[in-house]
Amino acid sequence: MKNNFRQTALFAESSCMKANRTVVKRIAKLGLLLMMGMSMNADAGLFGSGGTSWKEEVLLHDGQKIMVERTQLLEGRHEIGQGPPIKEHSITFTPPGANKAITWKDEFSADIGHANFTLLALHILNGVPYIVTTPDLCLAYNKWGRPNPPYVFFKYDGRAWQRIQLPEFPATFKNINLIINTYREGEIKEHEHKTRSGFVSAQDVKEINSSLTQPEYKSILREPIKQGTDGSSVNCMEEVRTRDGWLSLDWFSDQPSYESCLKFCERKGVSPQNCPCKTLFKGAK
């Protein structure tokens, strides 16, 4: 009887343990589901809002002022403690005397992991809009051909935006007149609220940009920036686009011969037009 009782007690304990395990499993499952739900909610809260937009007053080279609307979405890989990069952004405006709005847009580019450019200036000459940008971070700087001064210029031809080179960009345009962002959305919103009509004034654009020390952000330069100039994109390492990623130029220049350099290009999936061997081993072939 005693034995039976003990067995029963053991059985009861075992049942209780089984029941506990089931409860623990259920709690774990519930916890996992809750975590997934919270994670999805956090995502929607942070990035599901469709980004930020604001209005900005732009001072043109002839003293005229126009209103532009800018939008941007920050999203993507970033270091801990830093904000995400610009995934896409746009600027919309109506040139003086025109009745149709024009939009310039820069979208996500998988080869660099974010949008291509940082907006610097908008100018209009004889009804033709021009935009000045700088490649956003070093991979984009390499992707866009390492321009020095580090600008990529666009001209609106009436139908689409075309990239133009520095000599085609009117010399009369000298001012950086857009907010160089752009990880300062709080600051932008603060200035926007300063004016009752809810836009960032041209004076405030100047003030926001004044903290930046890079020479390419001070005015539109027409001369190359010296290598080693503090903070400038021109200091970015020279990189070559491979099948999926980027490799610095010395991977190729350190190859013992032109032939091995070509083999290295092939192995890394570098396209013939991007393979730097011909330039690096000039005269070898």
Partner 1 sequence: MTTAIEYALMAGAAYISNRDPKNQFPVPSGWLEVKHDSQPSGFEAISFINGSSIASSSEIVISYAGTDADAKFFSNPDKQADLLLGLGYWSDQLGQAAAYYLEPA
Q: Report the amino acid identity of residue 215.
A: P
Among 76, 147, 170, 276, the residue binding partner 1 under the rule CB under 8 A is 76
How many residues at the interface with partner 1, by CB under 8 A? 39
Site membership for partner 1, residue 138 (CB under 8 A):
yes
Among 145, 224, 245, 272, the residue binding partner 1 under the rule CB under 8 A is 245
Give yes or no for a contact between 162 and 100, defined as CB atoms under 8 angstroms apart.
Answer: no
Question: Considering the complex, what minimum distance in angstroms separates the CB of residue 81 from partner 1?
Answer: 8
Report the DSSP beta bridge partners of residue 77: none
Distance in angstroms (rounded) separating the CA atoms of residues 164 and 176: 18
Among 16, 42, 67, 284, the residue binding partner 1 under the rule CB under 8 A is 42
Distance in angstroms (rounded) separating the CA atoms of residues 247 and 262: 15
CB-count exposure of residue 63 (10 Å: 0-12, 13-18, 19+) = exposed
Nearer to partner 1, 139 or 220 (CB): 139
Q: Token pair for residue 221?
A: 């330069």
Closest CA to 161 of 148, 152, 174: 152
Question: Considering the complex, what minimum distance in angstroms separates the CB of residue 2 from partner 1?
Answer: 49
Closest CA to 146 of 280, 274, 264: 274
Nearer to partner 1, 27 or 36 (CB): 36
Question: Considering the complex, what minimum distance in angstroms separates the CB of residue 124 from partner 1?
Answer: 29
Among 7, 162, 248, 274, the residue binding partner 1 under the rule CB under 8 A is 248
Q: Which helix (H) or strand (E) holds 161?
A: strand 161-164
Nearer to partner 1, 202 or 247 (CB): 247
Among 14, 237, 259, 284, the residue binding partner 1 under the rule CB under 8 A is 237
Site membership for partner 1, residue 84 (CB under 8 A):
yes
Among 247, 260, 276, 280, the residue binding partner 1 under the rule CB under 8 A is 247
Build a one-symbol-per-residue string for 2-41: x at contacts with partner 1 by CB under 8 A, - elsewhere: -------------------------------------x--
Site membership for partner 1, residue 239 (CB under 8 A):
yes
Question: Considering the complex, what minimum distance in angstroms separates the CB of residue 25 from partner 1?
Answer: 19
**Residue 259: how many CA atoms within 13 Å on its side-chain side?**
0
Question: Considering the complex, what minimum distance in angstroms separates the CB of residue 95 from partner 1?
Answer: 32
Closest CA to 123 of 220, 223, 52: 220
Among 251, 258, 260, 280, the residue binding partner 1 under the rule CB under 8 A is 251
Distance in angstroms (rounded) separating the CA atoms of residues 154 and 159: 13
Q: Token pair for residue 33?
A: 């589901």
Q: Token pair for residue 92?
A: 């919309």
Distance in angstroms (rounded) separating the CA atoms of residues 141 and 9: 75
Chain positions contacting partner 1, by CB under 8 A: 39, 42-43, 46-47, 75-82, 84-85, 110, 112-113, 137-139, 213-214, 230-233, 235-237, 239, 244-248, 250-251, 254
